Structure 1
Amino acid sequence: MAKRVTSFDVAKLAGVSRSVVSAVLNGTPGIGVSEEKRQAVLDAIRELNYQVDAQARGMKTGRSYSLAAYGNVTNPMFLQVLEGMQAACAAHGYHVLLYPSGTAPGQRIEGMLDLFLQRRIDGIVALDRPHLVNEEWVKAVREYRLPYISVEGYPDETDIPSVLMDYEESVRRALDYMWSRTGLAPVYLELHHGTPLGYGDRQRRQAYVAWMTSHGLLPQVFSEIDGSWNERADFWRQWVKERRLGSAAVLTNWSRGAVYVSRAAQLEGIGVGRQLHVMACDNTERINQHMFPAITSMEVPYREMGELAAARLLEYIDGRRPVQDKNGIWVTAQFAERDSVGSNSDSLEADV
């Protein structure tokens, strides 16, 4: 068998001490490493094909160099959060351990705590629902001082830092844009699953009503149950016809709503982006850009939120941020201008 390469070999080739090699690999606090020495160590690692002994490293540092990602793997929002987590972890030599949801709450808490107490993970990032606060989980996080960051959850819980988006601000920006482009008073289409609206959708509706009122316009909110296009195509075609949307603007809370209205309108011979102007408040399924016409939207940056959550968690773990600092992280929606919102001149030409 070939002789195993050690950190001593890396240090010798790079012309540095082993403590410098350790500092480069582990981000050891208190040891300053110049960029020249850091690059020399990285070059030596590549040349020698040096592999860190994960078990020995963990015994020395008390870390697993893994973060758990908790969420529903069939949820496109969680998959984008996971994508961002992976980017942040890769940049710091960490791995992501996927912990899918689906188990009973008690089993979930016990399972993740066991992983943490056994030093198989150093912390957890989860995509939570703000209206589903788990008090038992909050208690466990406090008791065990578990490094935990929530994406979209616990906006009112001071002990759990969260990565949150300002939904009200995103709707105001959307309405300002539609009004400036079309001069039409937008109606609001709100999809739901037959359950009480979540935090984000409540914020969106409130922002819409407030904006319309402040502009002296009558709010028009249409709340409809979501369902597959194949099952409800006739419903949406009738919905478009009954509301006479031949010259109108529609803002939807979910991207699917914009897709349904756009498809139905075109089947009824209504030009989207010319006669009917459609905009979505998210792009969760990443389909807006693939529609024809492509749908303008204010997009929730779930990938960025996952990256920010993992980065904050690593700051706690590495000691670069005091654990007492539980301030939330706020992000803004990403505006994507596409073809489904035209201009005043487009609407006039279509009427002619």
Structure 2
Amino acid sequence: MTKKKKAPTSWDVARLAGVSRSTVSFVLNNTPGMKISEETRRRVLEAVKILDYKPNAIARSLAKQKTEAIAFFVLDIANPVFPNMARGIEDVARHNGYTVLLCNTDGKSLRELRYMNLMLERRVDGVIVGALSNEEVSRLARKKNMPLVILEHPRLPEHDVVYADNIQGSYEAVKYLIELGHTRIAHITINPESIIVRERIEGYKKALEDAKIPFDENLLKIFYDQVNEEIAINELLSLPNPPTAIFAFSDFMAIQIMKILVKRRIRIPQDISIVGFDDTLANLTIPELTTVSQPFYEMGVKAAEVLIERLKNPDLPIQHIKLTTKLVIRESTAPRK
């Protein structure tokens, strides 16, 4: 059996270059304040090349007190909302010399906390959370001086937060339906414990108020537990004066509503106009879905930029950054007949 060749060490590099091991470390880590001559630097780098020396990442991180890695806690990477966020984070991280560790939490607070403890053990430099479920994670981050950036919610004053303008996005969607002549506009949504849900309800109500259309609580369908679009549609269509338009909390919910309506031979948009929120799968539906586009990639970019800024300067003021949304008009909306 062939004996496995031993990997070269920093001692080997030092011997070949004719310098001390600490000089090798100073050169490879670009240690600030250390005066290394160009000739010495050249000899060290040439020895590294000849020996094909690969520095030990763990040792380097201990020496530099940083791992050049950040973590992204995501609820579920299979959810079409999150891949663009992750891409934005990774693009900025890679450009700045950081790697990204992806952690799927499935929205489970205990798993979120376990990941946080694991990241502290692995000494990652910072964490971005795509919606924080467990505020114990926040307390732990503060206690251990771990920079933490939150995407969307909660809007904790002690952490940097990047989020989309849900109120304005919702407002523009409902305002557009009103401009098409719709006055009976339903909103189907989920548990309002989430600030995102509350903000979208607020935008919905404000658009009605500004148009002097009375708010009808029968047109607001909130599911506190399991969402059931079939129940919502049954209740809405059984009203004496049913809606002519529906604004859904998300694209996924809007698509479920469209499927139910199509099965009932209710035409979209001729009979009922539909608007979603997110712009994830909206251009894959028939008809294509009018929706509010969220800047998911830009949110990821901004979250990573804010985190890296804080790693460079921990004393920067806390930032809560609100990004704009955009109404994308497609085929699922039409003027009221």
Residue 151 of structure 2 is matched in structure 1 by: 151
User: Given the superposition, is the C-alpha separation of residues 227 and 144 from structure 1 closer, same or farther in structure 2, using an over 3 Å criterion?
Assistant: closer
User: Is 1:178–1:186's contact at 8 Å kept on the other side of the alignment?
Assistant: no
The Cα RMSD (Å) is 4.0
Residue 301 of structure 2 is matched in structure 1 by: 307
- 3-state secondary structure, aligned to 2:278: coil
Percent identical among aligned pairs is: 18
User: Given the superposition, is the C-alpha separation of residues 245 and 311 from structure 1 closer, same or farther in structure 2, using an over 3 Å criterion?
Assistant: farther
How many Å separate the matches in 2 of 1:273 and 1:104?
A: 38
Question: What is the deviation of 1:217?
Answer: 0.7
User: Is 1:188–1:208's contact at 8 Å kept on the other side of the alignment?
Assistant: no
How many Å separate the matches in 2 of 1:74 and 1:169?
A: 26
Deviation sequence 1:107-165 (CA, Å, 0-9, x none): 8546534533x553110011124xx561x33333323221110111231x321111122
User: Is 2:116–2:137's contact at 8 Å kept on the other side of the alignment?
Assistant: no
- 3-state secondary structure, aligned to 1:73: coil
User: Given the superposition, is the C-alpha separation of residues 105 and 187 from structure 1 closer, same or farther in structure 2, using an over 3 Å criterion?
Assistant: closer
Deviation sequence 1:20-56 (CA, Å, 0-9, x none): x989xx8x999xxxxxxxxxxxxxxxxxx99776446
User: Is 2:154–2:195's contact at 8 Å kept on the other side of the alignment?
Assistant: no
User: Is 1:70–1:127's contact at 8 Å kept on the other side of the alignment?
Assistant: yes
Question: Could you tell me which of 278, 282, 287 is aligned with 1:288?
Answer: 282
Which structure has the greater CA radius of gyration?
2
User: Given the superposition, is the C-alpha separation of residues 223 and 86 from structure 1 closer, same or farther in structure 2, using an over 3 Å criterion?
Assistant: same
Q: What TM-score do you get using the length of structure 1 for normalisation?
A: 0.70
- 3-state secondary structure, aligned to 1:141: helix
- 3-state secondary structure, aligned to 2:207: helix
Greater shift, 257-266 or 271-280, is seen at 257-266
Question: What is the deviation of 1:314?
Answer: 1.2
- 3-state secondary structure, aligned to 1:297: strand
Question: What is the deviation of 1:85?
Answer: 1.7
Question: Could you tell me which of 56, 66, 69 is aligned with 1:66?
Answer: 69
Question: What is the deviation of 1:237?
Answer: 6.2
Question: Could you tell me which of 100, 114, 126 is aligned with 1:96?
Answer: 100
Residue 337 of structure 1 is matched in structure 2 by: 329
1:172 aligns with 2:166: no
1:30-41 equivalences under 5 Å are none
- 3-state secondary structure, aligned to 2:197: helix
How many Å separate the matches in 2 of 1:126 and 1:325?
A: 19
How many Å separate the matches in 2 of 1:165 and 1:251?
A: 18
How many Å separate the matches in 2 of 1:58 and 1:199?
A: 38
Deviation sequence 1:34-85 (CA, Å, 0-9, x none): xxxxxxxxxxxxxxx9977644643553221110112333661444432322
User: Is 1:67–1:96's contact at 8 Å kept on the other side of the alignment?
Assistant: yes
Letter of the 2:211 counterpart: H
Residue 49 of structure 2 is matched in structure 1 by: none
Question: Could you tell me which of 216, 221, 224 is aligned with 1:223?
Answer: 221
User: Is 1:63–1:119's contact at 8 Å kept on the other side of the alignment?
Assistant: no
How many Å separate the matches in 2 of 1:104 and 1:248?
A: 38
Letter of the 1:338 counterpart: R
- 3-state secondary structure, aligned to 2:268: coil
1:191 aligns with 2:189: yes
How many Å separate the matches in 1 of 2:127 and 2:207?
A: 38
Q: Which structure 1 residue ranges, 5 or more long, are not aligned?
A: 8-17, 31-48
Residue 42 of structure 2 is matched in structure 1 by: none
How many Å separate the matches in 1 of 2:209 and 2:243?
A: 21
User: Given the superposition, is the C-alpha separation of residues 22 and 264 from structure 1 closer, same or farther in structure 2, using an over 3 Å criterion?
Assistant: same
- 3-state secondary structure, aligned to 1:164: strand
Question: What is the deviation of 1:239?
Answer: 4.8
Letter of the 1:163 counterpart: V
Q: How many residues end up aligned between the 2 structures?
A: 303
User: Is 1:186–1:251's contact at 8 Å kept on the other side of the alignment?
Assistant: no
Question: What is the deviation of 1:177?
Answer: 2.0
Question: What is the deviation of 1:260?
Answer: 2.9
How many Å separate the matches in 1 of 2:310 and 2:233?
A: 52
1:1-352 equivalences under 5 Å are 54-55=57-58, 57-73=60-76, 76=79, 77-101=81-105, 108-109=112-113, 112-113=116-117, 115-116=119-120, 118=121, 120-129=123-132, 132=133, 134=135, 136-155=136-155, 157-180=156-179, 182-192=180-190, 195-220=191-216, 221-225=219-223, 226-227=226-227, 232=230, 235=231, 238-239=234-235, 241-243=237-239, 248-283=244-279, 286-317=280-311, 319=312, 321-342=313-334, 344=335, 347-348=336-337
Residue 38 of structure 1 is matched in structure 2 by: none
Q: Which structure 2 residue ranges, 5 or more long, are not aligned?
A: 14-23, 34-51
Q: What TM-score do you get using the length of structure 2 for normalisation?
A: 0.73
User: Is 1:240–1:261's contact at 8 Å kept on the other side of the alignment?
Assistant: no
How many Å separate the matches in 2 of 1:255 and 1:102?
A: 19
Letter of the 1:217 counterpart: I
User: Is 2:76–2:106's contact at 8 Å kept on the other side of the alignment?
Assistant: no
